[in-house]
Amino acid sequence: MGRFKTALINEIEKLYKRKKLVVALIISFIIIILGQLIILGVNRGFGIRGVGSMEFPMLVLSVVVNTILPLFTALVAIDSFSGEFSNNTMKIALTRPVTRLKFFTAKITAILLFVLFNLLFVMVLSTLAGLIFNANSFTLRGVIDIIVSYLVTLLPMLVLTLVIVVFTNILRSGVGVFFLSIFVFIILKALGMVFSRYSGILFTSMLDWYKLFTISPLPILKIANKFSMMVGYVIILFTTGYYLFDKKEF
Amino acid sequence: MEKVIEIKNLTKVFKNGRGITDINLDIHRGEIFGFLGPNGSGKTTTMKIMTGLMKPDSGDVKILGHSVLEDFEKAMEKVGCIIETAESYPYLTAYENLKQFSRYYKNVDDDRINEVLELTGIIKYKNEKPRKFSLGMKQRLGIAAAILSKPEVIILDEPLNGLDVEGMLDMRNLIKSLAERENTTFFISSHLIHDVELTCTHIGILYNGKLLNVDTTRNILNNYASLENYFVSEVETNGKV
């Protein structure tokens, strides 16, 4: 456990120093401000009610979870694996007293912490923006919905991260992985729309699963179904990713 | 004498037919072992297997009694190494790079980091990022990282790459003093035959993936005018030249 912790601290430091986190936070900030300005414009210009203060963070989440969050997750995952493969820096840590399993898990955990931090940042900022610019008042149920929705989004993002990590361990080029990830993402989204009956099994449709947590009464069976599906994906993808990583020679 | 590195029946053959075949080698505590061989003879492959960067087709390597295949963490606990090229994270400073490595060991604090930076002559570049470093400076940083944890075994693949004359002398003195003062065991590969002659206490010759012979430098120099003559003779004896 000690060696895993060390590898995790090192990965977090590397992630922080590469400035990707700062860029992600700045872009998230701009999107929230732009979103809020558009809503204000619609509200004042056309007299149409945009969203209430409780709905704004959820609106932001629905945009972020399908756009910049997968994009930055992909960039960070590609940097963490393909970047280190091509710069030949992967061997720096691999020749230290830490097993590949711990090192691989530390890398995934660091990416996941990046996603979590980004989600929490967007949540706090969009909640504040919603509170300042929109008229409706907050309710406790609303606040809980927001927190739960943002937190549960971490699970589909883990699936997405692992898909990209598997790609990074198959393809040599980081650019190749990036375009393949975008291609697969778009194809799966399109398939989900065309064959909506079967969209439930595609992980891209699971990015919106947080909406299930805002329904009253809570659709427990549907949540359990999606949760099991995602856990299944995580187990398969983690095992595949680790198998490929462990077989790699440097 | 205590065996520090045990290589048993190590074989790794690539698709192109190159690689290493049935390498057997024991290295004892305090030895400075020079691994001599031409380009493509399998030196780096052997060292990559020794440090877990590659897996062998068959055979095993034990370092301080622990197999690198079965008990990697224990095997690498007291090992420092540079394999192929001395790499560092270009976006971290020299200090931050060493700090990353230091977290894996209990006995390494900031004083030790400063000490190795001083020893390798790059203390004044402590807060600079290696992307601005010359090849020689990167090599010095790599050596600083390799000796950081005061390892009992140091594996160096072409450690003099990119170093100027002063750097080579410094490095030779550093290796010799660590072996003498702290009984550190070295496993060094090099194609700089003269430097191997001056630095190493034991020499093994690798040719076409096979270990031809292992002997002490003293014995070799008693029987041959120079290490170069010995190398040519060994290769000729085995019908390769």
Interface predicted TM-score (ipTM) of this complex, two decimals: 0.89
pLDDT in tens, B79-133: 999 998 888 999 999 999 999 999 999 888 999 999 999 988 889 999 999 998 8
- At residue B191, the pLDDT reads 80
B67 sits in the region (left: phi over 0; alpha: psi -120 to 50; else beta) called beta
CB contact (8 A) between residue B48 and residue A250: yes
CB contact (8 A) between residue B104 and residue A97: yes
Residue range of the domain that includes A6 = 2-247
How many angstroms separate the CA of residue A14 from the nearest CA in chain B? 8
Location of structure tokens 């380009």: B39
Nearest CB to A89; choose among B48, B76, B89: B89
- At residue A134, the pLDDT reads 65
Is any Cβ of chain B less than 8 angstroms from the Cβ of A12? no
Q: How many domains does chain A have?
A: 1
Is any Cβ of chain B less than 8 angstroms from the Cβ of A96? yes
Nearest CB to B51; choose among A17, A89, A95: A95
Is the per-residue pLDDT at B69 higher than 80?
yes
Which ranges in chain B are annotated with CATH 3.40.50.300?
A: 1-78+153-241
**In terms of CA atoms, which chain A residue is nearest residue B85?**
A88
Nearest CB to A13; choose among B54, B79, B100: B100
Write down the H helix ranges in chain A: 2-17, 20-46, 55-64, 68-78, 84-87, 90-94, 100-133, 140-152, 154-170, 174-194, 220-247
Query: Residue B126 forms beta bridges with which residues?
Result: none
Residue of A23, A96, A246 to mutate, interface with B, max B Cβ within 10 Å: A96
CB contact (8 A) between residue A250 and residue B76: no
Average pLDDT per 10 consecutive residues for chain A, totaling 250 residues:
90 89 83 79 66 75 88 92 91 93 96 94 88 71 89 94 95 90 88 82 85 88 92 96 94
Residue B143's H or E segment, with its range, is helix B135-147
Which chain A residues are closer than 8 Å to B88 by Cβ?
89, 92
**In terms of CA atoms, which chain B residue is nearest residue A95?**
B51
CB contact (8 A) between residue B54 and residue A13: no
Is any Cβ of chain B less than 8 angstroms from the Cβ of A87? yes
Report the CATH fold assignment for B1-78+153-241: Rossmann fold (3.40.50)
Please compute Rg for chain A using Cα positions.
19
Residues B168 and B137 sit within 8 Å (Cβ to Cβ): no
Look up the pTM and report it.
0.89
Which chain A residues are closer than 8 Å to B101 by Cβ?
92, 96
- At residue B233, the pLDDT reads 86
pLDDT band at B241 (very low <50, low <70, confident <90, very high): very low
